[in-house]
Amino acid sequence: MAYPYTHEREVRVMSRGFGDPATRTLAGWKELGGYEALEQALGMSPDDVTEEVKASGLRGRGGAGFPTGVKWGFMPKEKKGPHYMLINADESEPGAFKDRELMRWTPHQVIEGAMIAAHAIRAQDVYIYIRGEFFEVAQIMGRAVEEAYAAGIAGKNAMGSGVDIDVTMHLGAGAYICGEETALMNSLEGRRGQPRIKPPFPAASGVFAQPTTINNVETVTSVPHIIKNGGAWYRQWGTEKSPGTKMFNVSGHVARRGNYELPLGFPMDELIYDVCGGIRDGRELKAVIPGGSSVPILTAEEVEGLASDYESVAEAGSLLGTASIIVMDDRTNMVTQVRRMVEFYAHESCGQCTPCREGTSWLVKILRRIEAGEGTADDIDTLRGVSRNVTGTTICVLSDSAAVPVMSWLEKFPEDVERLVPRRPQVPAGATAGLVEGQGE
Amino acid sequence: MANGNGSDTVSCTIDGREVTVPKGARIIEACEQLGIGIVHYCYHPALSAPAMCRMCLVEVEGAPKLQPACVTPVQDGSVIRTDTEDAEEARKGVLEFYLVNHPLDCPICDASGECKLQDYVFQEGRAHGRSVEAKAVLGQDDFGGDVIYDGDRCIMCTRCTRFMREVADDERLCVVQRGSRSVIDTFFEEGLDGSPFASNVIDICPVGALLSKDFLHKARAWDLDRTPSVCPNCSQGCNITLDTRDNLVQRLKPRHNPDVNSYWMCDYGRYRYEWMNRGAVAVPKAKGSSAEVAEGNRGAVTLGGGSAGTRLEAPMVRRDGVLESATWKEAVTALVERLGALDGGISVVGSPYHGNEGNGLLKRLQAVLGGDKALYRSPRAEDEVTLPGFEKLTRRRDLSANGRGLETLGFARVGADDGSGGLTDPGTALVVLGDPLVDQDPGFGDGAELVVYLGTVESPALTSADFVLPITSYAEQEGTFTNFEGRVQRFWPALNAPPMARPAWQVLGVVLAGLDDGAAPASAGDAFLRIAELYEPFSGLSYPHIGTRGALLNEPVRVTAGEEA
C-alpha cells in the first residue's frame, strides 16, 4: 500500500509513479520508460500522431469528454503562423484533485504528453497554465521543465529530432474562471481572465489570435501511453465510446478518499463501497456528485448499478465530467451543501455577464436565508426562476453550473425543501382584511 | 425587396420582415435598418462589442440558444425573431437581475429621465421584482476631471473602459474585482484628470453611474430643452446639442455626425458654455434654478466676445454727442442716412463667433460702400489635440467656430494668438460686428467719422461709437458656421435673446435694403441664400441642403432620403 490509498482493482497506467518521489526526477521517470514515447512521436508525422490518438478513442478529461484526436484535427494543416498548445492545469472545481496529483508525482509525464500533443498540432510552444494556489505543484513542475531543457528534451531540436518545442509554465492568480479555455487565453495574454465569445473557436484564433489547442492535464498525460502502445491497446479498457482508464478522485464521506485509476465504465457503487471502503462511520449513502460540483447530484438509488462512463452517467441525468466524485452520507444538510457550492460560483463569477454576476449572488442570498430557517414558499419559485434565467443566457457556462446544484436539490430532495421551507396555507390576497372570503385562519 | 444574391450582401428575415444588409453586418444593425429596437447596454456602435450585458438576446432559427444580436453576424437566409416568448423572458430576467442590487434612487439621480435602465425596465421589465434581499453597497468614487462614479448604479457594461482604451487610447479606467463585487476604477491619483476627451464616458454611460460634476443636480433631464447646434469653441465644429433650462445653457452634449465628430466631443469645448448665458434674459427663477451659477460666471470667460461686458439691451444712437436709446426704426433710419453720406468707404471688423450670414452681409456692406479693410481676430491654441480613435476629431488650433467662414467671405485674420491686437487704424468709418474689442483702450476710433458697433455686450473701447446696436448671440439665433475643412453647418436658436436684440443678418439686411442693395432678408435662410448668391464658394448651398449634417463648400450637394429637407 503506497500512495495514500491504492486498490488491487486499479489499472495504474498514468498513476503508476504515484507515491514514489523518484518519479519526479528525470532519471526516475526515464527508469519507467519515460520520454520513449516522445522520441517515438517526434519521429512520426503530426498527422500520424493525431491518427493514433483518434484510434484510441481518448476523450478530453477536462469535463466535456470531447474526442481528443478530433479536436487536434481542427487545427490547420498548413502552418501560416505560430500554433500554440495550452495545457489547462487550472484545476479548481470543488471536488477535483486529479491533475494536481498527476503533476505532483509525475511532472515529466505531463511534459512528455504536452510535447507530443504540441507536435501533433504543429505547435512550437507549450504553455502550462497552473492554478495560482498550486505552489508545490508549480515548484515540482518548474524543476521538471528545467531538467527537460537541460537534457535537451524541451526547446530547440527537441531530443535531436529537429523539431522545436518550447515549454513554458504560467502560474494563474487564483481564479476558477481561468480554467475556462478562452478565459485562460485572456489571462495568459495578460488581460482580465474573462471568457471570450465563441466563435472564433481556439483552433481558428486562440491565444495571441493564433490557432490554439487546449487540453486538460490528464488528457495529455494519457497520450504517451497511447503512442507507445497503440490506440488498440488503450481500448482494452473502458467501453466502446468511453475507452481507456481514468483518474477517479473521490472525496467526501467515504472511508478511503483519494485518486484511483480505473477503467471507464467501472461500477460507481463498487467504487464507493469496495475501492473506497464504503461510507465512513457506517452511515448510509445519501447523494453523489459524480463529476465535480457543476454536474447534477445523484441520489443513492440512482447510483446503484451505475457504470461510470460518459454515456451511462449522462443517461442517469448527470455527467461524468472530471470524475471528481463527491460522496455525501445521510447526515448531510443538502441546503448547506448547495449553498456552499453556489457561493463558490458566485465568488468565482468573472462578473462580465449580467445574469451570472447578479444571479449567482442572488441565489446565495436566498439559500442563506433558507438555511437560517427564514425561507418562504416564494423562495422556492424564485430559486427556480433565477436558476432558469442564469442558464443558457451567458457567454460561458459558469452560471449554468451554479444553477445545477440548486435545481437538482429542489428536484431530488423534496423532503429537505419541505422541512426547511414549510408550505404555509395559501391565503388569498385581501383575505385578512375581510375583503374576500378566505380559507386561511 | 432587393435580393441578397450579390456577393457582398446577405438577406434575412427578422420578425417576419425581410432585410438585406452588407455581408458581415450584425443582427442588431439589420434590426436598426428595419426600425426594430433591440435593447442593449454594452453595445455601442463606435466601440467593440463584448456581448456581456445579455440584453440583446434574440432567437435565431437553428441555433440552440438565444444569440446576442450585437455580435452575431447575419447569415444569408437566416430567420430571426426578437419577439418570441423565450427572448422576451430572457430580457425580462436580465432586467430583473440588474435591479437586484441597483439602488433605484432615481429621484436623486441625474440620469433619471435619460436612463436606459429606467426605459427598458419600464418597457419590458417585470412589474414586481422578486428580490427581497439586502442590496450590495459598492460606494462612490471621484474619477478626477469632471467625472464622478457611483458603483451602486453601475451596470458593468464597460462602455467607459472600452472608450478610454479603444477611442481615447488612454487606458485610465478598468474593472477591478470580479463577480458582483466588480466596480470601475481608475489607476493612481490623477484618475481621468488631464485626459482631453474623458467626459465622453458620461455621455455613453447608459445609467447614472458616471456623472458630470459640472452638471450635478443642476437640472432634471425632462426639464431640459435640447437644441441641435455646433460647438463654437474651435474650428472643428463638433455637432452638439445645447441643453437649456430657465433660458440658460446647462450643458453641451455631442450630437452624432460621422463626418465631423462621430459620437464625441472634447472636454475643452464641452465646458466652455457659460459665456452663452451672459446677459441672458432674466426669467422668474424656478426652484433650483442655476441662474446664480450663470451670474457667478459673468465675465469669467473671455472667449466668444470679451469679458466683463454688460449685455446690450436696446439700440443706442449718438445725438448731439450723447448716446441715447432709440427704437430700431429710428436707429436704422439714421444709420442708413449716415452710411449713405459717407465718402471714403468703411473698415469692418467681423467676429468668428458669429455666423456666415451676419458676417457675410457686413462684408457686403463694405462692398457697397467701398473700403478695403476687413479684419477679424481669433484666439489660437499652441497645438492640436486629436482623438486617437477618431482622428478626424481634433481640437483645432483655431479656437473660434467660424474662422474659415470669415476667410471665405474675404476677411483677414489679424492680431496675436490670444485674440488681441492687430487693430491700429480705425479708418474714416468703422463697423464692428460682435467683437467688443476688450483689448483696446477706451477711445478707440475717436478720430473716425463714423463708428458703428453691433454687439451682444458693451464695448468699453468704443466710447465714441455713433451707433450701438444689440444683436443676438449664436446661441440665440439660427445660422451657420463654416468649420476648418469648409463644412457649412447649421445651428438653431436655443435661448431667448433680450427682447430688443436682433440677429446681425437682420439688422444689416435692413440697412442694405435702405441703401438700395436688394430686399431685406425675411429669415436666416433668406440671408444665407443671399450669401450663396454673393460669394462663389457658398454657391449652390441652402439650409435644406445643409440639413443637420452639414455640407462642404463648393461641393455638389446630394439630398438623401431621411435627411432633413
pLDDT of residue B305: 41
- The predicted model gives B439-460 an average pLDDT of 91
Q: From A193, which residue of chain B is nearest by alpha-carbon distance?
A: B178
Report how far residue B41's alpha carbon sits from residue B207's, in angstroms, rounded to the nearest whole number. Answer: 9
Q: What is the ipTM of this complex?
A: 0.90
Phi then psi dihedrals of residue B429, to 5 deg: -140, 140
H/E element, B488: strand B487-491
Q: What was the pLDDT predicted at B4?
A: 42
pLDDT digits 0-9 by tens, B21-76: 999 999 999 999 999 999 999 999 999 999 999 999 999 999 999 999 999 999 99
State which residue of chain A sits closest to B59, comparing Cα positions. Answer: A393
B319: cell is 445725438
Choice among A427-441, B476-490, B529-543 with the minimum mean pLDDT = A427-441
B contacts of A378 (beta carbons < 8 Å): 130
- CB–CB contact B54 A393 (8 Å): yes
Residues in chain A with CB shorter than 8 Å from the CB of B52 are 352-354, 395
Give the pLDDT score at B565.
34
**8 Å CB contact of A352 and B180:** no
The tens digit of pLDDT for each residue in B369-406 reads 999 999 999 999 999 999 999 999 999 999 999 999 99
Q: Which of A347, A382, A389 sits opposite B179 (nearest CB)?
A: A347
Q: How far is the alpha carbon of A121 from chain B, nearest alpha carbon, in Å?
A: 29
Would you say residue B308 has pLDDT above 70? no
- The pLDDT of B433-456, averaged and rounded, is 92
* Average pLDDT of the residues of chain B: 90
Q: Which residue numbers in chain A have pLDDT < 70?
A: 1-2, 423-441
Cis amide prior to A200 (ω within 30 degrees): yes
Q: In terms of pLDDT, which residue wins out, A437 or B191?
A: B191
Nearest CB to B100; choose among A175, A358, A385: A358
Mean pLDDT, to the nearest integer, of B303-319?
A: 72
Give B65 to chain A, closest Cα distance, Å. 6
Predicted local distance difference test score (pLDDT) of residue A2: 65
Best of A370, A393, A394, A397 to disrupt the B interface (most B CBs within 10 Å) is A393
B491 phi, psi to nearest 5 deg: -130, 160
Residues of chain B with C-beta less than 8 angstroms from the C-beta of A198: none
Contact residues, chain B, for A348 at CB < 8 Å: 178-179
- What contacts B341, CB < 8 A, 6 or more positions away? none
Tell me how far the alpha carbon of residue B3 is from its chain's centroid.
Answer: 40
Q: To which residue does cell 436566498 refer?
A: A366
Contact B335, B465 (CB under 8 A): no
C-alpha atoms less than 13 angstroms from C-alpha of B138 in its C-beta half-sphere:
23
% of chain B surpassing 90 pLDDT: 82
Q: How close is the nearest chain B Cα to the Cα of A196, in Å?
A: 8
What is the model's pLDDT at position A230? Answer: 96
Q: Please give the sequence-ordered ranges of beta strands (E in DSSP) within B327-478, or none if there are none.
A: 347-349, 374-376, 385-386, 394-395, 412-413, 429-433, 450-455, 467-470
A354 vs B53, B71, B133: nearest CB = B53
Neighbour order of strands in the sheet with B316-319: B322-325, B316-319, B467-470, B450-455, B429-433, B347-349, B374-376, B412-413
- B98: which chain A residues are within 8 Å (Cβ-Cβ)? 354, 358
Q: For residue B426, what pLDDT is reported?
A: 83
Cα–Cα distance for residue pair B413/B375, rounded to 1 Å: 6
Residue A432: per-residue pLDDT: 58
Distances (CA, A) of A260 to A14, A271, A278: 10, 9, 14
pLDDT at B554: 81
Q: Which residues of B touch A (CB under 8 A)?
A: 50-55, 57, 65-66, 68, 71, 89-90, 93-94, 96-98, 100-101, 130-131, 133-134, 136, 155-156, 175, 177-182
For B156, name the nearest residue in chain A, comparing CA atoms only. Answer: A352
DSSP string, B88-143: HHHHHHHHHHHHHS----GGG-TTTTS-HHHHHHHHHS-SS----SPPP---EEEE
> Is the pLDDT reported for residue B285 higher than 60?
no
Set of cell numbers at residue A319 = 455527467
Smallest Cβ–Cβ distance between A192 and the set B97, B175, B180 belongs to: B175
pLDDT in tens, B92-121: 999 999 999 999 999 999 999 999 999 999
